[in-house]
């Protein structure tokens, strides 16, 4: 079977032939349909994030997958069911309690308790067939066999928004305004989720693009206000537009984590999702601290997602407008067009690699 | 009657004679028993925080009060009831909805929607009699006529811990370790609350004092580990001791807001309560942002408290060990000993001014 890998020392993905895996006990064999490509994959390819499986010189890429159960292998999965796998699976010798209570998304980074498939420590999902632990698979409706690779990135936003909301649950939070920092696929999907939440009357999306631009078309289509960070830096947004009840940071630009505090309204919350490199810089630390305290503001970091978030994301995907999904997915390519699938330019938003076609039973 | 005021241009409190106030409709007259002194009061006295009532050249001090209803004035309060007043009361022309739903503690700073009595915009409670809006008064059990001035500072900690807990309510948070930054009266009261919470097996308190010291005696008495920040800076605590599930910052030292992130365990939360001056400094911003995200950490700022927090604080006060209260309250002084009441040295933890004695009915 074909698999898309990155090899040690190389900086681009390659298609290789591998034997079809044999599922171990408690694993099911999944026939992969489509696997999305995101910024993390590109970082993995260029060696800036993640790491190879122990002792291996190549790793199968891909963590945003949708597939079909090809062989339930004695597990309680249904053959033919459309599924999305969690990104984290247990690492040998690690603490399994995170998985047992379905909170592997909360496990300490670097703990050795989990792999992130296709990112760090274990092969990913960009192969024709993948053996997956049965508990890592969440069932999707068959209608999501095509767009189901969006469930994992959506689940990242679902979890972050859930944690942000929880952080405001000790009082009667009545949010109306929200700003997404970043107009990449994750930012646009988050904007779609916020648009579907009737509490948010006014949405903003911050980027640094010139029109015409396909991401700004999505921002416009959702009725959100585009904020060009080259003209309106994050720390001026509260004055230029309005203080935000919620900020969703999806840029990985470390200054934004700090500036988010100043963009928030009293009682507001910033959900941070970016993963920046090391960067030392000056901050107005006194002002930052004071703003957090005197205006009851909160910052909540969020990474990964669990089965519950994947299930919720599937529901949310079903209610997103079709035009949004169509606009966000700018290309689905076969494995022999990896260049196109991994391209990141101003015309691409979200791409996927199609390993197999879905055949309805 | 006597009142303790600070006058414009002066840097120390003074006892003055004032007419006994006449309660307006919807106000009750409260005969004040004791009013605590804290760091905010000292900042108000030296002009570093707060502001005089509009058009006034002096302000009655004090916001941590316990009193007795002397004249219910047609409100539904009970004469003779022991009460604690909220610090925030409505400002003329402001948005009253915060008060109507008892969330004035969440109102925007500087909004003009509230005064903070004895701090900014309105006379405080350090007078023999004070007219208080009936909804600002929360009933205490008569046993708290003596220590009830601790209810307000305790309520500040209760609220902050409640918001911190809420911020972790989107997953199965199982905290075991907590560190309080600051060994002032607020820090020690928070440590007492955490000690009473059976989930926290291991408590730490950070300060910069040498033994023998009365605050460290309290830390020891609670079985907490004293962390001397001169030897063990906050950012090294996770390595030297352990990563903390909860950090309660009560120092107003702006670097601590940042360093708290590094002291936290995965899934941990920092409650920030300090109100620092402006201070620009360098931070490892990339590391900070990444730690928040990859380890699902949260920071929650918290200020003030509402009626619900005051009622909860009264319950919590009732269950704190008597020795703790006795140790924390280092002096209760009559108005003619203001020097002693407002002293802040290494022998004082929490002091109060006694305006009237409690006479049980």
For chain B, what is the HEC assignment? CEEEEEECCCCCCEEEECCCCCCCCCEEEEEEEEEEECHHHHHHHCCCCCECCCCCCEEECCCEEEEEEEECCCCCCCCCCEEEECCEEECCCCCCHHHHCCCHHHCCCCCCCEEEECCEEECCCCECEEEEEHHHEEEECHHHHCCHHHHHHHHHHHHHHHHHHHCCCCCCCCCCEEEEECCCHHHHHHHHHHHCCCCCCEEEEEECCCCCCHHHHHHHHCCCEEEECCCCCHHHHHHHCCCEEEEEECCCCHHHHHHHHHHEEEEEEEEECCCCCCCEEEEEHHHHHHHHHHCCCEEEECCCCCHHHHHHHHHHHHHCCHHHHHHHEEEEECHHHHHHHHCCCCCCCEEEEECCCCCCC
Q: Which residues of A touch B109 (CB under 8 A)?
A: 266, 294-295
* Tokens encoding A184: 């990449």
Does B328 lie in the same domain as B279? no
pLDDT averaged over chain B?
97
Q: CA-to-CA distance for A296 and B345, rounded, in angstroms?
A: 30
**Is B292 inside a domain boundary?**
yes
What's the domain count of chain B?
A: 2
| Residue at A226 is within a domain | yes
Residue A42 C-alpha from the chain's centroid: 13
Residues B162 and B134 in one domain: no
Is A248 among the domain residues?
Answer: yes
B293:A301 CB<8 A: yes
Long-range contacts for B337-342 (Cβ within 8 Å, ≥24 apart)? B338/B4, B338/B12, B338/B13, B338/B14, B338/B15, B341/B37, B342/B12, B342/B13, B342/B37, B342/B41, B342/B42, B342/B45
Pairwise CB contact (< 8 Å): A107 & B281: no
Q: Contacts of residue B244 in chain A, CB cutoff 8 Å? A: none
Q: What is the pTM of this model?
A: 0.97
Q: Looking at beta carbons, which residues of chain A come within 8 Å of B298?
A: 163, 167, 298-301
Domain with A280, as residue range(s), is 156-301
Domain assignment present for residue A315? The answer is no
- Shared domain for A195 and A95, answered yes or no, is no
Q: Do A163 and A44 lie in a common domain?
A: no
- Give the per-residue pLDDT at B33: 98
> Are B37 and B136 found together in one domain?
yes
Can you give the pLDDT at residue A361? 67
The answer to whether the CB atoms of A274 and B289 lie below 8 A apart is: yes
Q: Given an 8 Å threshold on Cβ–Cβ distance, is A291 in contact with B273?
A: no
Asked, for residue B150, whether it belongs to a domain, the answer is no
**Residue of B293, B302, B307 to mutate when probing chain A, most A C-beta within 10 A:** B293
Q: In a structure prediction context, what are the per-residue pLDDT tens digits for chain A, which is 361 residues long?
A: 999 999 999 999 999 999 999 999 999 999 999 999 999 999 999 988 889 999 999 999 999 999 999 999 999 999 999 999 999 999 999 999 999 999 999 999 999 999 999 999 999 999 999 999 999 999 999 999 999 999 999 999 999 999 999 999 999 999 999 999 999 999 999 999 999 999 999 999 999 999 999 999 999 999 999 999 999 999 999 999 999 999 999 998 999 999 999 999 999 999 999 999 999 999 999 999 999 999 999 999 999 999 999 999 999 999 999 999 999 999 999 999 999 999 999 999 999 999 999 987 6
Q: Helix or strand or coil: residue A153? A: helix
Q: How far apart are the first and last CA of chain A?
A: 22
Q: Chain B partners of A284 at a C-beta cutoff of 8 Å?
A: 278-280
A30 within some domain: yes
Residue B49 lies in a domain: yes
B132 with B160, same domain: the answer is no
Task: Spell out the alpha helix ranges (H) of A274-328.
Answer: 285-294, 307-319, 322-328
Nearest-Cα distance to chain B for A253, in Å, is 8
Q: Locate the chain B residue with the closest alpha carbon to A290.
A: B275
Q: Do both B332 and B256 map to the same domain?
A: no
Mean pLDDT for B73-92 is: 97
Q: Of A111, A207, A260, which Cα lies nearest the Cα of B289? A: A260
B337 and B280 housed in the same domain = no
One domain, residues A8 and A136: yes
Of A282, A290, A296, the CB nearest to B276: A290
Contact between A288 and B257 using a beta-carbon 8 Å cutoff:
yes
How long, in residues, is chain A?
A: 361
pLDDT score for B279: 95
The per-residue pLDDT for B50 is 86
Report, as an integer, the average pLDDT of B202-229.
98
Tell whether the model's pLDDT for residue B281 goes beyond 70: yes
pLDDT at residue B34 is higher than 90: yes
**Would you call B280 and A284 a contact, using CB atoms and an 8 Å cutoff?**
yes
Q: Which residues of B touch A252 (CB under 8 A)?
A: 289
**DSSP category for residue A278:** P
CATH number at residue A197: 3.40.50.720
Q: What is the CATH number of the domain that holds A118?
A: 3.90.180.10
Asked if the model's pLDDT at residue B48 lies above 90, the reply is no
Which residue(s) pair with B354 in the sheet?
A: B34
Residue A293 contacts residue B301 (beta carbons within 8 Å): yes
Residue B361 lies in a domain: no
Percent of chain B with pLDDT over 90: 98
Give the pLDDT band (50/70/90) at residue B49: confident
- B172-184 mean pLDDT: 98
Q: Tell me: do B136 and B192 sit in the same domain.
A: no
Query: What would the mean pLDDT of B197-223 be, rounded to a whole number?
Result: 98
Question: In this structure, are A85 and A187 located in the same domain?
Answer: no
The reply to whether A199 and A330 lie within a common domain is no
Two tokens, residue B320: 């704190």
Q: Which residues of B touch A255 (CB under 8 A)?
A: 285
Q: How confident is the model at residue B104 (pLDDT cuts 50, 70, 90)?
A: very high
Partner-chain contact B297 A297, CB within 8 Å: no
Selected residue of B116, B289, B295 to mutate for chain A interface (largest A Cβ count, 10 A): B289
pLDDT at B361 over 80: no
Q: Tell me, what's the ipTM?
A: 0.98
């Amino acid at each position: 079977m074909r698999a898309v890998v990155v090899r040690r020392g190389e900086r681009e993905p390659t298609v290789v032939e591998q034997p079809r895996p044999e599922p171990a006990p408690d694993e099911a064999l999944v026939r992969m349909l489509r696997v999305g490509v995101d910024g993390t994959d590109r970082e993995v390819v260029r060696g800036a994030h993640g790491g190879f499986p122990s002792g291996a010189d190549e790793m199968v890429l891909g963590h945003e997958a949708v597939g079909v159960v090809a062989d339930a292998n004695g597990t309680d999965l249904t053959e033919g069911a459309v599924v999305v796998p969690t990104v984290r699976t247990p690492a040998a010798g690690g603490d399994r309690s995170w998985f047992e209570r379905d909170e592997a998304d909360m496990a300490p980074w670097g703990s050795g308790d989990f792999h992130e498939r296709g990112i760090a420590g274990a092969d990913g999902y960009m192969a024709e067939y993948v053996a997956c632990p049965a508990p890592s698979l969440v069932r999707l409706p068959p209608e999501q066999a095509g767009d189901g690779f969006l469930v994992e990135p959506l689940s990242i936003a679902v979890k972050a928004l859930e944690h942000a909301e929880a952080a405001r649950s000790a009082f009667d939070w009545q949010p109306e305004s929200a700003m997404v920092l970043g107009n990449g696929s994750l930012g646009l999907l988050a904007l779609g989720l916020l648009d579907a939440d009737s509490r948010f009357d006014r949405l903003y999306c911050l980027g640094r693009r010139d029109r015409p631009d396909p991401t700004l078309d999505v921002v416009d289509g959702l009725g959100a206000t585009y904020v060009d960070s080259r003209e309106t830096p994050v720390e001026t947004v509260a004055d230029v537009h309005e203080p935000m009840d919620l900020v969703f940071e999806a840029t990985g630009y470390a200054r934004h984590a700090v500036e988010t505090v100043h963009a928030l309204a009293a009682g507001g919350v910033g959900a941070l999702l970016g993963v920046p490199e090391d960067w030392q810089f000056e901050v107005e630390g006194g002002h930052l601290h004071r703003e957090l305290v005197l205006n009851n503001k909160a910052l909540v970091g969020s990474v990964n997602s669990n089965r519950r978030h994947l299930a919720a994301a599937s529901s949310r995907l079903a209610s997103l407008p079709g035009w949004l999904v169509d606009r966000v997915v700018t290309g689905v390519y076969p494995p022999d067009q990896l260049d196109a699938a991994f391209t990141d330019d101003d015309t691409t938003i979200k791409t996927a690699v199609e390993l197999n076609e879905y055949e309805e039973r």
